[in-house]
Every structure is written in structure tokens, then in C-alpha cells.
Amino acid sequence: MRWIKRLFALLSLLLLAAAALAAFYAYRSLPKMNGSLQMAGLSAPVKVHRDASDVTHILATQPRDAWMAMGYVHAQERGWQMEFNRRVMRGTLSEVLGPTTLETDKLMRTLGLREAARRQLQGLPADAREALQAYSDGVNAFFAHSEQLLTPEFLLLGIRPQAEAAAGRYWDPLDSVAWSLMMALDLGGNWGNEFARLSALEAIDTPALWELFPPYPGEQPAATADLAKLYRELGVYRGKTVSSSAAPQPGGRDGLLASVREQIGADLQRWADELGNIEGKGSNNWVVSGARSATGMPLLANDPHLGLSAPAIWYFARLQAPDAGNTKGMDVIGATLPGTPFVVLGRTQQVAWGFTNTGPDVQDLFLEQINPANPAQYRVPSASDEPAWTNFGLRMETIRVKGQPDISHMVRSTRHGPVLSDAQARHGEVLDTSRFVLSLRWTALDQDNRNVVATMEANRAQTVDELLRAFRDFHSPMQSVVMADRSGRIAYKAAGKVPVRLPENDIRGVAPAPGWDLRYDWAGWLPYEETPQDSGARGWIATANQRIHGADYPHFLTQDWAAPYRQERIEAMLAQTPKHTPDSFRAMHADQQSAATVRLLPFLQKTASDHPLAAAAQAALRDFNGEMRLGSAAPLIYSAWVDAFTRRVIGERLGQARFEAMYGKRLFRNAVEGILERNDTSWCGAAGCAAASSLALADALNRLKAVHGDDVSTWRWGDAHPAISIHRPFSNVKPLARFFEVRTPTGGDPFTVNVGQYHLDKADAPYANRHAASLRAIYDLENLDNSRFIYQTGQSGNVFSSRYRDMSEAWAAVQYRTLTMKPGQWRSTLELRP
């Protein structure tokens, strides 16, 4: 008994020691926020204040010091986020995570983001290069010299950036330029839609394609070519059934680290497969003039919709510095992107602005025919009837792989751009890559990309006119910018580069085009003066990724606009209130009325079913008006039914393997609307769409019963639709996910103003809210210090910090924090000294 007591005492002592060590580590990993720190390279001390809203205020005596301090603070608060993003865009994940991330690395190397960034950096003016270098110096200073311990991700994955940072190589200006390209990659792509159309046309004809991918309401299909006939005559298809990409399988290793590596490889492969699909990547913004506000001055609102992550993609900060020599100063506050030194969305002393994604077609896939006599060559335009050929451009990339020999990856390119099918496994499942490959033409990779300059100049603007001049340099991805200044002026401008396509181009970028035919080449650029714009004559302007021009607009931008449900709802609410206030804007941000649900709801309500739960389900739907409230069962029943209907009807027509390769990334909701409204038996089958709806309802109820039980009265949309801010990599490790993820129940759906986009291909939580308002902001031009903001996690990227998730509940409740340049007091003050 005495030995048992001694053993118990020893174990208790060891547990206490371990707890004390963990607590000490957690404390030492938190950023220093008070006192002073030395940072070599500063010209003068910099104050880093944090206010009651936890907004960071960087007050410097010259711009270079402010940008350098911003780099230091981003690294201090979001070090792991920057490390992970740096490895994604450089294509060096496999160096620390092993072979499971090799395919993602190959894709990033194939796209050549660093090479494009190098070309673009050379064309930037001196002050832009100075800003990027100062920011990089600040990031490197933190990682090289800080006494703050690195967060658990670095520790568990064995990543030590100190030596690289001390040499000034950990972060460099190319990384900041490349991170801008990563945002363009996430928001500015439609190559996935082009490939999906190519794949679908192996199973259906061209008229059916336009039923599956309907054009925008009131428009005809953008392509007039018979695409199915074109691809059939060219012989582009591999000729065997498409198979869904499988997740990497464990390689027999055990332990937490191996699990992390394997799961993150699968996770990133899904992310890579979803690139080039613009559906669901939207936002809302609107502005009213003084004539429509209670104060007589403009009000502006913005909520960009992005993938939810922990930490959040944004970090709120203020940068203030006066002019110094030839470098202009700034005083700007708002949302920064860790990885870049500027405020992307926000306001200065006199002007505010907000973005939504315009979504023009700035990516084209080209079918490149391989020379059967020489596979090192591809077909190019010829002045004669005989085919002409030229060599592929070649670039060898060496990828380091943890625990394995280095991998040599040959990147091929054509006159259009990189050969994408060399790094997209699904392309080879559809395309006969012994005869054809797919190359990518993408605006963002061009040398004249000056997003850095546009954002820097916006940080200095004081009027709408100055913002309009600043955004002349904005390149990719095109953004729909609403703006307002203290003089009372409001405006809208689509800012970014859009290619012009020839009149004889009968494909117009909606599907892969023969790369050897000159009529499919881009013919120039739409002038900035001719991109859509609006001066707000109605008293308001609103955009929500809908078609942002009238039917009489003379230029083709895209066919892939978002359905206009959100924008129409916003405009209706703007019209309903004669004089708006921040509180009326809050109500608009919170709105969960789904017009898309209302459109299809009658088909569900009249669906006959002998399922045991059908009567209870129909009772729950009886008074449902399309408001997607988290406490209601009706939104869950409706969402499960339309999902099951889509899987049955479209899946059976395309073939399940092909369908599953497309579904989840896109919902095919516009197609379902047309199929049901036409009672289209070519899709629903000879028995008609009512019979298909009955089968779908039974499928849905079986699925819901398995997850939520057989008492329909206890079902809640919020239980199935939590907002999940995922953490990479620890969302993929179940014992750790509950600590690193940020979850909260939400309402809404993909078509509500308070958006809640789900990914139906994620079997573990198909209706979870994964893509939503990444921030909400309201700017009051009568008193800009009465502005407000919120986002879904917190400022800190350290899971041990109380600031890691402290905005989550307020975000879900559509509440805000004050965004002011004149806080009553500072919550903390750190001085950075030379």
C-alpha cells in the first residue's frame, strides 16, 4: 500500500510538472504586447497600440517603419498562418509534410507563382518595392530574434525558421506579391467550370450542357459552337469511365505526426481540385448616399465571402505615418492580409471602400495537340493547311520531400501558359493526354500585374476620385468596388483586367478551345474607362456577384455570374427603408431569407411520400417561408431534399463517378430549377419529376434520420449547419480539431444575404457552413469613428490565446466592434525600438 501511495504521489508530481511546463510554454508563446522590444532596421521608435476592439494601431514617423512594424506584428500574431501559406505558394509543403502533399506542390510549381511574382516585382515603382522589402524585414526580424516561443504547429511539425530568417530569406518581397496571386487564384478562376463542361460533354450533348450549366437569366449561351461535336471529332477523350480522385492512403506509419501529414495531403488535394471554380465565392457590398441615410451622409457596408479558417484570413490594423522624403505617408485602418503590408479593405480619414468579387472570365483553357511524330512539340497556328509545330517550353523544378529523395518535376508551357493537365490528375481521367494536354491562359500571371501599387495608393486616398485613380492599377482578380467619401459622393467601379475576345470566337472561354486556332486567342484588354461603373444616381449601389452591367453593355465579361438572389434581396431591403442607419444595415447583414428556397419549395411541399417521417416533415414545412433560421427543422429538410434530388437526377444522367467529381464544388441549383419547372423527363426519367422528387424525399429523410434521429421536431438547421473555421493542419486530427477549430451554429444558406455556403461533397458534415462572411464592416461617413467591424475568430493565431476565438459569438449574432482611429484608451502599448 505504501508503494502504491508513493507511485501515485510520483505520478501526481509528474502530471503537475507537465501541466506547469505546458502552462509555461503556452505563456511564452503569447506575443509581447506591453513594454518595449528592439528591432534592427527601424529608423525611429514605433508605437504598437491595441485598443478595446483589439485593433492594432501602428504609429510610426515614416512609412518604411510602419510597413516593417506591420511585418513584425503579423509574424508575432499569425506566424503559423504565414508559414503555411508561404509553403503553399512556394510549393514546399512536401519538405515538411512528406509525399502526401506532393501533388499540391506540383500544381503550385506548375502555375509558377514565384516566377510570375519575380517578373511583376521588377515592374513596380521604388516606393512599392520599398514597402515590400520593409515588410519582409519585419517578418524576418521576428522569426530571427524574438524570444517568443513559436506556436504548437511549429513544434509538432519540427519546423525551425530562425536560421532562414536570420539570413533574410524566410520571407521576401516575392512572397508578398505571390500571396496577392494566391488570392487571385482563389477568387478569379473558372478553369474548373471549363473542365467540368468538357467532362460533361462526354456524356451529354450540347443542348443538354446548357440545361446543366444554364446561362444567366435572360441571356443565351455564350458559346455558339457545337462543343460536343467539336470534342468528338477531335477525339479528345480518354474513352474510359471517370473516377473520383481518391484521398492518399496511409503508408503504414503510425503516430500523430504521420496522421497529420496524411490527412493534410488529402485536405490540400481537395482544395487543389476545387481551384478554378467560382461558384459560391461571392460577397456583398452596398452604399447609400446622404439622400438615403438618416444623417444626410453616406453609409457603406461590406461582407466578403471567403473560406472560413482559424485563424481568419484577415487581421485588423491601422497604419499611420507622415510623408518621408519621396515616400508618401498614410493613415488607414481596416482589414489587412497577413503576408502583405497594406490595408486591403477599410477607410482613411476621408474615404471608405469595400469589395465584392466581379468574377469575369480571366482564365481560358486551351487544348494543345501533341505532335504524334515528336511528343516534345505541340501544334501552333499555321499560315497553310499543313499543321505547324513548336517545342514546349521546359522548366525543371526540384521538390524536396521529407523522408524521401528529391523529386524532379518538369513543367511544360505553351504560348498560352503552363500545361495544367501535367499537375491535375483529374484531367488525365477524362482527356487522352497522349494526344492533347490543357494549357492555362490567366491574366494574373502577366508581368503588368500592379495590385501592390493599387492597394498602396488606396491606403493614401482621401476622395472617391483618388480611389478611382488608385484602382486603375488593380489587376487580378477584378473587384466590384463601392466607395464613399466625406464630401457625400458615392461610386462603383469594376477594377481589374479583362481580356477582349474576337467576334468570331464561338467558344468565348466557357470551355477548352483548340490552341492552334488564332480566333480563340485574346485580342487585347478592356480599357479601364469601359469597365462597368455607377455614380449612384438612384441613391444606392449594391453588388453581390450578379451580372454587374445592363443587357445593353457592349462587352462580354463572363457567362458564369452568380444567380441574382442576394443582390435582388439587398436592393429590396434598400428600397424598403427611406432613411438608413447602421442598425438598418446590421439587419441587412443578418438577413436569412432565401429566394432560391422559395422558388423550389412548392415542389417539395406537394411531393407525395409514404416514408414514415414524411407526414412530420411536411408538417414542419407547412408554414415555412424560406427564412433559413438555425432553430428550425424546415431548412434542413429542404436542403437535404434538394441535395438528394440533384444526386439522383443529375447523377444518373452524367454517371455517378463523373457527377461526384463535379458536385460539392458546384450545386447545380440553376439546373435543378429549370428541370423541375419544365418537368423535364430527359433528366427526371419517363415517370417525371414528381416521381423523382418522391424518391429524393425518401433518400433525404433516411439520411436525416440516421444522423438526427426519428423525431423531426428535434431537428435543427443550426446543428447541421455550424460555421466551421478550419485549422490547417489540425482540423485533420480529431483529438486536436476541437481545440484548433472554431465552430458556432449558424443559419442562412448559399443564397441568403447572411450567406452560409456548404460543400456537399464533404460526407462528414455536408451542410456545414464553410464559406461565409469572412468579415462584416459598416462605415459611417457622417462620423467615420462610428464605423464597426467583426469577423469569425479573433486577432490572435495562437490557440492558447484568449484572443483566438473571442469574436466568434458576436460574429454569429451579427454584432460588431468599433473601428475607430480615436479610441478612448489603449488596452496595451508596445514600443519597437531601433
The string of pLDDT tens digits covering residues 181-213 is 999 998 877 899 999 999 999 999 999 999 999
Rounding to the nearest 10 degrees, give the CA dihedral for residues 697, 700, 704, 706: 110
Report d(CA 769, CA 724) in Å as an integer.
6
**Backbone torsions φ then ψ of 316, nearest 5 degrees:** -85, 130
CB 66 within 8 A of CB 56: no
Residue pair 776/300 in contact (Cβ under 8 Å)? The answer is no
- Of the pLDDT bands very low, low, confident and very high (cuts 50, 70, 90), residue 257 is low
pLDDT surpasses 90 at 698: yes
Q: How far apart are CA 650 and CA 672, in angstroms?
A: 8
Report which of 621, 628, 752 is spatially closest to residue 697, judged by C-alpha positions. Answer: 621
Q: Is 520 left (phi over 0), alpha (psi -120 to 50) or beta?
A: alpha
* Whether the predicted pLDDT of 249 surpasses 70: no
Tell me the per-residue pLDDT of 750-796, one tens digit each, with 9 for 90 and over: 999 999 999 999 888 999 999 999 999 999 999 999 999 999 999 99
What single letter denotes the amino acid at residue 393?
G
CB count in 10 Å sphere of residue 616: 18
pLDDT digit string (tens) for 134-191?
999 999 999 999 999 999 999 989 999 999 999 999 999 999 999 999 999 988 778 9
User: Is the pLDDT reported for residue 372 higher than 60?
Assistant: yes
- For residue 747, give the 3-state DSSP assignment: coil
The predicted pLDDT at position 252 comes to: 39
Q: How many Cα atoms occupy the beta-carbon half-sphere of 85 within 13 Å?
A: 28
Residue type, 10: L
pLDDT in tens, 534-580: 999 999 999 999 999 999 999 999 999 999 999 999 999 999 999 99
φ and ψ at residue 742, rounded to 5 degrees: -120, 120
The rounded Cα 164 to chain-centroid distance in angstroms is 29
Q: pLDDT grade, residue 247 (50/70/90)?
A: very low
CA distance 153 to 136: 22
- What pLDDT is attached to residue 18? 75
Residue 321 and residue 330 in contact, taking contact as beta carbons nearer than 8 Å? yes
Task: Return the pLDDT at 50.
Answer: 98
Question: Which one-letter DSSP state was computed for residue 282?
Answer: -
H-type alpha helices, 33-101:
63-90, 94-97
Cell numbers that stand for 427 in this block? 484531367
- Residue 280 above 90 pLDDT? no
Distance in angstroms (rounded) separating the CA atoms of residues 688 and 682: 9
* pLDDT at position 282: 81
What amino acid is encoded at 579 in this protein? Answer: K
Q: What is the pLDDT of residue 241?
A: 53
* Cα–Cα distance, 322 to 464 (Å, whole number): 21
Strand partners, 286: 301, 542
pLDDT of residue 254: 46
Other Cβ atoms closer than 10 A to 802? 10
Q: In angstroms, rounded to a whole number, what is the distance separating the alpha carbons of residues 723 and 679? A: 35
Give residue 239's pLDDT: 85
What angle, 0 to 180 degrees and rounded to 10, lies between the N-to-C axes of helices 614-621 and 634-654? 110
Handedness of CA 175, 178, 182, 184 (dihedral sign): positive
If you average pLDDT over every residue of the chain, what do you get? 94
Q: How far is CA 706 from CA 371, 700, 702, 712, in A?
A: 54, 10, 6, 12
Show the cell assigned to 318.
Answer: 491601422
Alpha-carbon distances of 152 from 93, 102, 438, 600, 803, rounded to whole Å: 17, 24, 41, 47, 16
Three-state secondary structure call for residue 664: coil
pLDDT surpasses 70 at 635 = yes
Strands 56-59 and 315-321: parallel
Per-residue pLDDT at 200: 98
Which cell goes with 760?
A: 456537399
**What is the rounded CA–CA span in Å between residue 207 and residue 17?**
71
In the chain, the amino acid numbered 404 is Q
Confidence band of 255 (pLDDT split at 50, 70, 90)? low
| Dist. CA 104–CA 608, nearest whole Å | 46
